[in-house]
Structure 1
Amino acid sequence: MCKIVFSSDLHGNLDQYSSIVQLATKEQASIIVFGGDLFLKGSISASTKTIEAQRVYFTDKILPIVKDYSGHVFFTFGNADFYIIVDVLRKYIVQENFTNIHVVNDEVVQIPNSKIKLLAYAGVPFTRHMLKDWERFDTCDPQEHSLRDLSYIVTKGAVSYNYEQFNYLTNGLNLKEYLVEDDQQKVLLKYGPNINYVNLPTLENVQLMKNFSIECQMRRILNDCKQEDYTNMIWIIHGPPYGTNLDVLKTKTHCGSRAVRQLIHEFQPLASFHGHIHETVDMSGSYKDKIGNTHCYSSGNYPNMKLVSAIVINTREADKAKRVTV
């Protein structure tokens, strides 16, 4: 078993990154997990929201803070991060031989010197945001789409994944069918080169809705890992499960994923950690919830503050995780 410090949605706040490393050191944790939305928001400066800017920010700003940590550091991703940055950072980590730094996405990995495994998945249900790299339909049931607030759902926007990656993500569909050339220029102005503008239609394309869903993609990850016992697994999923203390907006409405909730209930991992909704802990009054026997947590972090919120958990006592702000 092991001790883990988890936080999410730091959005490039270097003071918060430093505080997480200090907290993990103080707690004698062997693992730090950053649960997505790693980089600066694009509204800060147009130059911060390009693929190259995220690469440089990671190598020159974030990595120097965490690379000398005595334990292992896992980076997962969120809807503010480019999809294509995953492979860019993985190659850099291997090239520089940072053996304690791990970039994980859409996979299950073993925590070093532990029986615990991490499942990392970054997908969230569609929102109004323009960057769509990690936004997905929710369950495999097309009728589920009608249960969401359709005024909040936009399926047209910018993506960085390439044709081959989209083919993998959708189990064989062609990205060319969804490109919107007329709006390509405004994407280039906002996000720089190597970005496409797409329109992902809803009810008129049932196959797309099924293949490009959180449920379909997570089931593929789970099938690939061929796990029989999930009680030694922790899920790091950027989007929270629907209808819990972890997905409450300022409007006091729930916005989480029905698929994530369904899969947690079905597979019953030891614990799950989530981010995405900064204000949820304040709105719901709790940083935790429970789905069956699975203990679910959110750090509920605000990236515009110097102080950072994190979850500290000893996997021997998954029900006793604490939320701290430092």
Structure 2
Amino acid sequence: MRLPPRTPGAEGLRSQEVLLEEVTEIEGVEDKAGSDLEGGLLLLGEDAEVHPGEGVKLAELRGYRSRMLKVVQEGYEKEDEAIMDFFHGAMKHYFCSVKEPDSLSTPEMAELCKLYIQEEVDLIMVVGGDSAVKFAALLLQERAKPVLCISKDNESMLGSIQLSNWKCELPTVLTHIRDNRYYSERLMRLHVLSEVVVRRKTHFCIKAAVFINGEHFTDTVTDGIIVATPLGSTGYAMNCGGPIVNYRSTNIVLVAVNPLTLSFRPLVMSHDIEVEICISKDSRSEAEVHFDGKCHDRLRQGESIRIRQGHDFEMVRLGEDSRSQHKIKAIYSWNAGYAFT
């Protein structure tokens, strides 16, 4: 993504201290100076106290030195606390935690990435649904790091472990990650995991030009334009009439939001193209650009944004999974209720 230069004003970047206070939480750390904190993330070292619980051999993880970041979605606090309690406090010293925040401006997101994501990060653990995974993807940016997601049953397309069975599966998966013999699934992303949305900022429609690989493709007057990955095809794009694309495929979906002309049909395009959306100088409204609903910025008349495929996103899996179509049917109730008469 290439955004136009922006000079933060009074509404711009908040101070680092305020940002940390509002959106982050570090567990098990009272004094950074006296802790084992290095570069913002904690080490799981040989001296960590391990208490086996309910027959799970947590002692196998002793000596596993790894840097992990845990992202917790709002509404999953009790589940996260239960996971920590299961390990009797030992896991609190394994993780640096960050709560999934509301939508941040582009400078604020960049500042958060500097605070929490470094090249030494080995794993991101997500306690929550797809929304928290998308936030983790924004934190990672172009870094290729595995992500492990613990989610409620049948509520996440990206869940690695279901909450109903995490006590048995989590220690096993962590052991496999330590031994570098875990299964993973690579998903396409456009620097974001799901979608980039350019939409009107006022009650007037935006007038925009769309370019494909640098060549003019079309002009439109619309409420917004969505550029989505296969995973994002089941979100905002689907609500605007876009197709459902298997999230394991590699395609780019282009969907207009309430276009002035009915002939602007959704398009499924090749993954290797670059889409550029330019707000026309005579557009009656400025535009806002949103990245997976977690980060936003401003597009004035005459400014543009370029969107292209980024590095693959790696999700940790328990094993080979060939039931992606069944997930779509179960989560989105696809063709539910139909019966022959």
Could you say which TM-score interval applies, normalised by the shorter chain? Answer: under 0.3
Bigger RCO of structures 1 and 2 (CA < 8 A, at least 6 apart)? 1
Please, what TM-score do these two structures have when normalized by structure 1? 0.27
Larger Rg: 2
Q: Larger helix proportion, structure 1 or 2?
A: 1
More strand by share: 2
